[in-house]
């Protein structure tokens, strides 16, 4: 009797641990999956942030050599980097501002009004998103050469505004599609003229969409390389600077600035999300 039962009790525990483990995974499969996805998304960013504290011995910042804060204390300590970053920020702010205003107005027109050529306008809005960047960049270059426009910060700005408008229109339009027109009628019913109605009712309600669109436009502009490279001429933007530097070894400061941009972007999104949550509460 004991001889027959003993092997079972011995073999029992390890098998049940394995089974329990399998059951735990099965029960928490969604969380395991979510964890893996987050890991997949975060690891590259974490590596960039980590290597901003690296102290490499050569120009190449690919192997961990030791912890230092010296690059964080002197983030613009590479010749040209500061100028390139300033240029990128200028272009990003300007193109975001112009594209957000124009794109919001276009979205309002496309959602609110029926007019001749509306279908065509809707199609054209999608074109810059659908066209490969390399093609867009090359044709813009051709265009600027044809009309005799020297390449400069201005031509980059024109190009960025162009593709940013599309993204702004699409984002704001989505917000407007669910907009209850009765709210505007109610405002007018209560004595608000169209101008007041827009600023007191329409604008505050579509603001989250506009902010999201602006954030998207800013991030698209500041990291654009392909189109910028075609339209830049002698101008050097931050991504172009990195591209140039990469041939000899990316300086650690690039990691520092990359980390700062990332944290700033996450911070902005967090602020806008929190603000929205508080407003709707």
Partner 1 sequence: MADVAVRLTQLTKRFGGDATGRRVAKFVDGATPGDSILAVDHIDLEVRDREFFSLLGPSGCGKTTTLRMIGGFEQPTSGRIELAGEDVTWLPPYQRNVNTVFQNYALFPHLTVFENVAFGLRRRKVADGEVRTRVTEMLALVELPGYERRKPGQLSGGQAQRVALARALVNKPAVLLLDEPLGALDLKLRKQMQVELKRIQQEVGITFIYVTHDQEEAMTMSDRIAVMSRGRYEQLGDPEVLYEHPKTRFVAGFLGVSNLLPATRAGSVNGYAGFRLGSGTAVRVPLTLLEGRAAGYAVGVRPEKIRLFEPKDEVPAGLNQAPGVISDASYLGVSTQYIVTLADGHRVTVYEQNVQRATKAELWASGEQVVLAWAPEHCFVVEDGGATDTASIETPSPEPVVA
- Site of interaction with partner 1 (CB under 8 A): 114, 180, 182-183, 185-193, 196, 200-201, 204-205, 279-281
C-alpha dihedral, 244 to 232 to 87 to 218, nearest 10°: -100
CB of 134 to partner 1, least distance (A): 40
CB of 190 to partner 1, least distance (A): 4
Integer Cα distance of 73 and 50 in angstroms: 15
**Quick one: 202 or 221, whose CB is closer to partner 1?**
202
**Quick one: 40 or 113, whose CB is closer to partner 1?**
113
CB of 169 to partner 1, least distance (A): 21
Closest CA to 104 of 195, 172, 36, 166: 172
CB of 52 to partner 1, least distance (A): 40
Spatial neighbors of 129 by CB under 8 A, at least 6 apart, are 163, 166, 167, 170
The structure tokens listed for 172 are 């704001």
Closest CA to 218 of 43, 118, 97: 97
**Quick one: 170 or 205, whose CB is closer to partner 1?**
205
CB of 183 to partner 1, least distance (A): 5
CB of 227 to partner 1, least distance (A): 37
Integer Cα distance of 186 and 175 in angstroms: 19
**Quick one: 197 or 253, whose CB is closer to partner 1?**
197
**Quick one: 150 or 189, whose CB is closer to partner 1?**
189
Integer Cα distance of 110 and 112 in angstroms: 6
**Quick one: 152 or 272, whose CB is closer to partner 1?**
272
């Amino acid at each position: 009797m004991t001889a027959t039962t003993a092997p079972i009790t011995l073999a029992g525990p390890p098998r049940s641990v394995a089974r329990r483990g399998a059951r735990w995974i099965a029960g928490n499969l969604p969380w395991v999956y979510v964890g893996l996805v987050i890991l997949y998304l975060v690891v590259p960013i974490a590596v960039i942030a980590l290597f901003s504290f690296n102290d490499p011995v050569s120009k190449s910042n690919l192997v961990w050599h030791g912890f230092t804060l010296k690059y964080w204390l002197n983030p613009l300590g590479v010749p040209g980097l500061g100028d390139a970053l300033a240029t990128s920020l200028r272009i990003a702010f300007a193109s975001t501002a112009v594209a957000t205003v124009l794109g919001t107005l276009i979205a309002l027109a496309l959602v609110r009004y029926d007019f001749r050529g509306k279908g065509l306008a809707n199609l054209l809005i999608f074109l810059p998103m659908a066209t490969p960047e390399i093609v867009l960049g090359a044709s813009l270059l051709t265009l600027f050469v044809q009309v005799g426009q020297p390449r400069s910060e201005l031509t980059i700005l024109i190009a960025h505004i162009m593709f940013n408008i599309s993204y702004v229109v699409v984002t704001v339009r989505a917000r407007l599609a669910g907009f209850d027109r009765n709210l505007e009628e109610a405002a007018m019913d209560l004595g608000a003229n169209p101008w007041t109605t827009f600023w007191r009712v329409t604008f505050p309600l579509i603001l989250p969409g506009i902010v999201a669109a602006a954030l998207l436009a800013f991030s698209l502009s500041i990291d654009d390389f392909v189109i910028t490279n075609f339209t830049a001429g002698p101008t050097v933007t931050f991504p172009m600077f990195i591209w140039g530097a990469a041939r000899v070894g990316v300086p650690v400061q690039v990691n520092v600035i990359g980390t700062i941009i990332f944290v700033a972007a996450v911070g902005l999104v967090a602020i806008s999300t929190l603000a929205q949550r508080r407003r709707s509460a």
